[in-house]
């Protein structure tokens, strides 16, 4: 945005950014039509979990200042961590009380709902709003005034409420159309590429991460997902909206509230549009601290201590990848962090003696046992980075040819956690087609933990 402002001035900069977003959206549509979603299979499970946890930590760090009424929540994650003592010492007692009670409601809802069945029918977010809106009216947050607490003077202003034009249909006055001035500049095409590449990769990662937390273990059609994101970015840019990606936070909230299909997102968007357009004066009464508490709860769910414990049970090496990715995302950004997590896993695999070539190109030999069965023998390694080739071979000789498959892994030195999980999923796909995928040859491999999906390392001959 800064570069566009320097090139075109304040008046045209935003429209130039919209033009960039529109072209980037069209590129995403093209990527989806070329079926580029398969790239997501190159991301290991623990690194994706680490990215999820890092997103949860970032959400918490960004929302804590808002929940306690501190003025500034800007900065990188490490800056926000360093600023936490200052945030807590500089809190606004009234705002912090609203945020704290709202957060307490979010955390207590589940255990109370187990005792009182009626609460299961009422989302905790609605209870928070039923508390927070009357509280904002009672405390007069819409009327700037000072109050004294503990001998110190604090201020309450409309900044503590949702910033929204209170006039019905006022949202439509914000519609802005794109300009394509930036397409004549090198900077413009640079940002088109960045939006398209980073937005697509982050959407793929987000979709894969949501698949991991889906209670029904369904698998996203990643090409369709990127197509939808690209089409949405194109339309949004035509109307003044900024580019978007697949959203983990919204998906986590959908799961927590019982949504089962993509209509959860549709109705959420439609409900938001109707409310923002028709009752903005009510939305304007919602304290930001209450919304921040909802996001803090969602962030906690993503970065729960149970996530660390689960990964530890899979294996210490997986915890290393998980924590390494989490820290890397906090220190850099989402894309660089996940690449560092992948690098950590590569380093661990190479340290076990796996050849560099086999990390990307598995040695596979397929031979027919009879008319109804095929034997596929794998050598060297079966790891996340060569899984796509292995999966396609198994699908080609099995699902597409409608034959049972026996996969012999006795010749592999290493079978990593990601492949163990994906083979388990593929066994389900074969069963769904009335076929069988049998995995054999792991008797001489040592699991790195007691977890059934732990990484397997072949024992050395004595």
29 and 85 inside one domain: yes
95 and 211 inside one domain: yes
For CA atoms 82, 83, 89, 92, the dihedral sign is negative
142 and 229 inside one domain: yes
291 and 309 inside one domain: no
Angle of CA points 182, 186, 191, to nearest 5°: 65
Q: What totals of helices (H) and strands (E) does the chain contain, helices first?
A: 16, 8
| Distance, CA of 350 to chain centre | 28
β 373-382/363-370 pair status: antiparallel
Distance CA 393, CA 399 (A): 10
Domain finish residue from 300, 326, 342? 300
208 and 269 inside one domain: yes
CATH of the domain at 374: 3.30.750.24
What predicted TM-score, i.e. pTM, was given to this entire model?
Answer: 0.80
- The whole-number pLDDT of residue 264 equals 84
| Residues 136/285, Cβ–Cβ less than 8 Å | yes
308 and 440 inside one domain: no
311 and 199 inside one domain: no
Tens digit of each residue's pLDDT, the chain (462 residues)? 555 555 555 657 888 889 999 999 999 999 999 888 877 777 888 998 898 899 899 999 999 999 999 978 888 999 999 999 999 999 999 999 999 999 999 999 989 988 988 888 888 999 999 999 999 999 999 889 999 998 899 999 888 999 877 677 666 777 888 999 888 888 888 888 878 877 787 788 778 778 878 888 788 888 898 999 999 999 999 988 877 777 676 787 788 777 888 788 888 888 888 888 888 888 889 999 999 999 999 899 889 999 999 999 999 999 999 999 999 999 988 778 989 999 999 999 999 999 999 999 989 999 999 889 999 999 999 999 999 999 999 999 999 999 999 999 999 999 999 999 999 989 988 998 999 999 999 999 999 999 999 999 998 743
Strand partners, 456: 415, 447
- The whole-number pLDDT of residue 11 equals 58
| 3-class SS of residue 195 | helix
63 and 160 inside one domain: yes
Distance CA 438, CA 394 (A): 11
393 and 250 inside one domain: no
- Beta strands (DSSP E) in 292-426 are 363-370, 373-382, 404-415
| Residues 442/415, Cβ–Cβ less than 8 Å | yes
229 and 260 inside one domain: yes
- Beta strands (DSSP E) in 70-184 are 145-149, 152-156
> What domain range is 367 assigned to?
357-458
| Residues 405/437, Cβ–Cβ less than 8 Å | yes
> Which residue pairs from 454-461 have beta carbons closer than 8 angstroms and sit at least 24 positions apart in sequence?
454/314, 454/315, 454/417, 454/420, 455/315, 455/317, 455/318, 455/414, 455/415, 455/416, 455/417, 455/420, 456/409, 456/414, 456/415, 456/420, 457/352, 457/413, 457/414, 458/412, 458/413, 458/414
273 and 373 inside one domain: no
Domain finish residue from 300, 317, 336? 300
312 and 291 inside one domain: no
Distance CA 67, CA 69 (A): 6
The tally of domains found in the chain comes to: 3
């Amino acid at each position: 945005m800064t570069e566009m402002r320097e090139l075109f001035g304040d008046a045209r900069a935003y429209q130039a950014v919209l033009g960039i977003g529109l072209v980037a959206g069209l590129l995403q549509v093209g990527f989806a039509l070329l079926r580029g979603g398969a790239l997501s299979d190159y991301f290991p499970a623990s690194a994706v979990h680490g990215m999820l946890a890092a997103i949860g930590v970032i959400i918490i760090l960004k929302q804590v200042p808002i929940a306690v009424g501190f003025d500034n929540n800007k900065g990188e994650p490490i800056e926000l961590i360093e600023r936490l003592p200052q945030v807590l010492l500089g809190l606004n007692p009234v705002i912090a009380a609203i945020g704290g009670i709202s957060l307490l409601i979010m955390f207590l809802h589940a255990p109370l709902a187990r005792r009182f069945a009626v609460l299961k029918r009422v989302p905790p977010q609605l209870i928070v709003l039923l508390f927070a809106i009357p509280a904002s009216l009672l405390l007069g947050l819409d009327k700037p005034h000072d109050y004294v607490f503990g001998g110190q003077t604090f201020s309450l202003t409309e900044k503590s409420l949702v910033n929204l034009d209170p006039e019905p249909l006022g949202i439509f006055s914000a519609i802005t159309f794109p300009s394509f001035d930036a397409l004549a500049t090198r900077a413009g095409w640079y940002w088109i590429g960045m939006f398209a590449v980073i937005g697509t990769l982050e959407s793929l990662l987000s979709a894969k991460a949501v698949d991991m937390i889906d209670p029904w273990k369904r698998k996203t059609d990643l090409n369709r997902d990127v197509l939808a994101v690209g089409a949405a970015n194109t339309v949004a840019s035509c109307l003044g909206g900024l580019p978007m990606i697949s959203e983990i936070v919204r998906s986590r909230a959908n799961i927590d509230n019982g949504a089962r299909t993509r209509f959860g997102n549709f109705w959420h968007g439609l409900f938001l549009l109707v409310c923002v357009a028709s009752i903005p004066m009510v939305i304007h009464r919602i304290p930001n601290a209450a919304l921040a508490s909802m996001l803090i709860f969602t962030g906690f769910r993503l970065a729960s201590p149970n996530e660390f414990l689960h990964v530890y049970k899979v294996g210490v090496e997986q915890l290393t990848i998980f924590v390494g990715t989490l820290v890397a995302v906090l220190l850099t950004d989402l894309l660089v962090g996940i690449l560092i997590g992948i690098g950590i896993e590569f380093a661990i695999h190479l340290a076990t003696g796996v050849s560099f070539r086999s990390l990307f190109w598995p040695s596979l030999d397929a031979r027919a046992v009879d008319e109804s069965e095929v034997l596929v023998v794998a050598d060297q390694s079966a790891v996340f980075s060569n899984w796509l080739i292995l999966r396609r071979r198994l699908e080609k000789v099995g699902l597409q040819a409608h034959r049972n498959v026996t996969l012999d892994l006795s010749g592999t030195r290493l079978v990593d956690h990601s492949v163990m999980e994906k083979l388990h999923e593929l066994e389900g796909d074969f069963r769904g087609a009335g076929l069988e995928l049998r995995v054999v040859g792991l008797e001489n491999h040592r699991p790195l933990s007691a977890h059934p999906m732990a990484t397997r390392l072949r024992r050395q001959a004595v």
